Amino acid sequence: MARRRSLLGKLVGAYLVPTLLLLGAFGYSAHYLGRRSLDQELGRRLVAIAQAASTQVGPGQFDQLGPGEEEGRTYANVRHKLLELQARTDASRIQLLDAELGLRADTQAGIPIGTRALELEVDRAEIAAALAGHAGASVLFRGRDGVWYKRGYAPVDDEAGDAIGVMAVQGSAGYFAQLERFRRFLIVYGALGAGLVILVSALVARRITRPVRELAEIAERIGRGDLALAIRAPGSRDEIALLTEAVEQMRRSLAARDERMQMMLSGIAHEVRNPLGGMELYAGLLRDELAADPDKLAQLGRIERELGHLKTVVADFLEYARRPRPELCEVDCQALLQDVRDVLGKDCAEAAVNCAVEAPGAVRAAADANQLRRVLLNLGRNAIQATPRGGRVTLLCENGAERVRIQVKDSGAGIPPEHLPNIFLPFYTTKEKGTGLGLAFVREIVRDHGGAISVSSEPGHGTTFTIELPAWPPS
């Protein structure tokens, strides 16, 4: 309470009270933007955990999880995997459901198989979407303990790729509590100052609302996934400082969750890599033994190709989980694009696609050259795959006001509008054998550089990815 009197006294004595309403209005906008951004971020994380959990349950295991199998080895194995995943993440509960909301497995102890999850009836729309193959998250809801929660849903597929069940992951949104207390404070004191708002001068309004606007911008930045930059606390100890501390605490909490997610991905990849190496070794030995049997060699070749795909998946997981912080230096964008074009030469030749570089000359960005090169190679290979034979891929760069713009264009069929909002989400892919981490990795690298990436596409007229980075020298 002492802090509130301190801020109120300064406003009464120095700014004649009227600015309190503007402070409340801008503070409330910061609260709203922060809550919305954090809500969306929590939903994305819960969906990602649900998608990771769904990979732990094989179609055969799902069918074996029938009523009365609580003491069986399959149930114990599945529940153990879900409990391990829950321990590695911020999930408070993980449930495996059939299409009729019957529980097949639950991290909460003592729930028999087949028990109907009546509390999930309110999420019927999200569950139906998951059964149709579309992962998603529920709206926020308050639990019996008074804490806010949210659920993420992902389909569990059979061998044919059809959804046979749903993985539900529940996570706590309890870190909204401090923002909720600040919102109530703004409502009370905003009402008291409503009659004096006409007296607020432009100068005082600008001086008072600046830190609140900064917090709103920070909330937007956090919503975009930029969790690296710490929020500087103001010198005062009033409510603005309290809100700053609350947002900074939430930023650290989300950053810690992101780190745990990366550790989880890395751990899963390591667990898969070891048996995968053994399988490759035995496949090589088997090839030697079947040298005189062409039919069996052909079948073995298919196995080896699938092992190669698994190696790619593991490599994608590790690359996404281990991305280092960029070391910024001066990068000649024209030279980098030419280097990328040369590396993509073989891919272009095999696809019969022309690749060209367009640059006006001296375009220099503040970037990590190796990481930016990986971004452009990823986008370039995607563009080549999307371009028909005889088509064209163009790599461009140009200077902006304080930013450098780099574009990767193709003349392919374009991306359907319904896919555009999701293409940067982890694990989202339209490819038959894709991990869905490529574009997510690209976006994270660009954001780590303090940049932004966007995409524009029109069916039948190709796709353009645009990257904006800070120019060199940094301002």
Per the prediction, the chain carries an average pLDDT of 79
Average pLDDT (356-364) is 88
251 and 230 Cβ atoms separated by less than 8 Å? yes
Distance CA 394, CA 337 (A): 10
Average pLDDT (184-188) is 66
Band (374; pLDDT cuts 50, 70, 90): confident
Percent of the chain at pLDDT > 70 equals 72
In this predicted structure, what is the pLDDT of residue 177? 62
Q: Is the confidence at residue 472, as pLDDT, over 60?
A: yes
Q: Express each pLDDT in 425-459 by its tens digit.
A: 876 676 655 666 778 888 888 988 889 999 999 88
Average pLDDT (228-246) is 70
Q: Lowest mean pLDDT of 96-105, 313-322, 355-364, 407-416, name the range.
A: 313-322
Domains, the chain: 1-252 (3.30.450.20), 254-321 (1.10.287), 329-470 (3.30.565.10)
In this predicted structure, what is the pLDDT of residue 10? 46
Q: Express each pLDDT in 395-411 by its tens digit.
A: 999 988 789 999 999 99
Q: Is the confidence at residue 8, as pLDDT, over 50?
A: no
In this predicted structure, what is the pLDDT of residue 5? 40
User: What one-character-per-residue DSSP string does 102-155 give?
Assistant: BEEEESSTT--TT-B-GGGGGGHHHHHHHHTT--EE---EE-TTS-EEEEEEEE
Q: Is the confidence at residue 19, as pLDDT, over 80?
A: no
Q: Express each pLDDT in 70-124 by its tens digit.
A: 888 989 999 999 999 999 887 899 999 998 899 999 999 888 999 999 889 999 9
Its sign, for the CA torsion 393, 399, 401, 406, is positive
In this predicted structure, what is the pLDDT of residue 1? 39
